[in-house]
Amino acid sequence: MPHRMKGGFELSLSFVVIVVVAVVLLTLAITFLQGIFPGISDLTHKVTQIARDNLLKDLSEGGKVGIAAPAVTEWKRGETGSFAIGLRNDDPANDRRFYISIYLEGVGGELQGADVNSLRPVVNGWLSYTAASQGLSELVPAGEAETSDVVIKPLSNARPGLYRFRVLVCAVPQCTTLQDTSQENIYGDDVFTIEIKS
């Protein structure tokens, strides 16, 4: 009888060792995968392929500029996410370069009455555009549509409220705001809003 107890104890000890080794290997594997794919866990709001396809469909049906984003999206402070901007070149013969300005246009909710001009430098710093290496411009082939991502990362101390951004697309590099850009140079525009929750 004592012999069976010893065998039972050895089995339990072996089982515990196997479980510990498995947990250590699992932890190492997760750490390794997070190192390879750091951006996956960082984005809390991400454009789905369905939304991107719908945006391209809308552009093919006559739109020039569009955004794959809901009218208003709720964000927590410090979250990182992205929206897709779509551009369609309506010139069937020539590739065209478009110039893009994405800026804070207005505020609401808890920010109602705040001075947009004083908020703009900080809030515009939350944005990065995938084509920024090209000077916020996008070359679109003749008659085709392209999408690019806008990554948004509000600061962890961002003030709660509604932030409305305008995406302005121009035919010339002097593309700043809707009010400061001449109408003949504006190719198209769209807006998106994020609501920062406290």
Q: Residue ranges per domain, the chain?
A: 2-36, 40-197
Distance between CA atoms of residues 128 and 74, nearest Å = 19
Residue 41 has pLDDT above 70, yes or no: no
Amino acid letter, residue 60 = S
Q: Indicate the pTM of the whole model.
A: 0.72
For position 161, what pLDDT does the model report? 93
86-129 pLDDT, tens per residue?
888 888 888 888 888 889 999 999 999 999 999 988 888 888 87
Report the C-alpha dihedral over residues 126, 106, 58, 141, rounded to 10 degrees. Answer: -50
For position 10, what pLDDT does the model report? 60
Residue 163 has pLDDT above 90, yes or no: yes
Q: What is the b/e burial string over 39-75, where b = at least 16 CB atoms within 10 angstroms of the residue's CB?
A: eeeebebbbeeebeeebbeebeeebbbbbbbeeeeeb
Instruction: Please give the C-alpha separations between residue 105 and each of 32, 101, 179, in angstroms, as whole numbers.
Output: 41, 11, 10
Residue 140 has pLDDT above 90, yes or no: no
Q: Which fold has domain 40-197?
A: Immunoglobulin-like (2.60.40)
Residues 128, 47 contacting (CB under 8 angstroms): no
Instruction: Please give the C-alpha separations between residue 155 and each of 80, 120, 163, in angstroms, as whole numbers.
Output: 9, 13, 13
Angle of CA points 51, 47, 196, to nearest 5°: 120
Phi and psi for 155 in degrees, rounded to 5? Answer: -65, 155
Q: Is 41 strand, coil or helix?
A: helix
Place of tokens 């979250």: 79
For position 42, what pLDDT does the model report? 53
For position 162, what pLDDT does the model report? 93
Residues 167, 176 contacting (CB under 8 angstroms): no
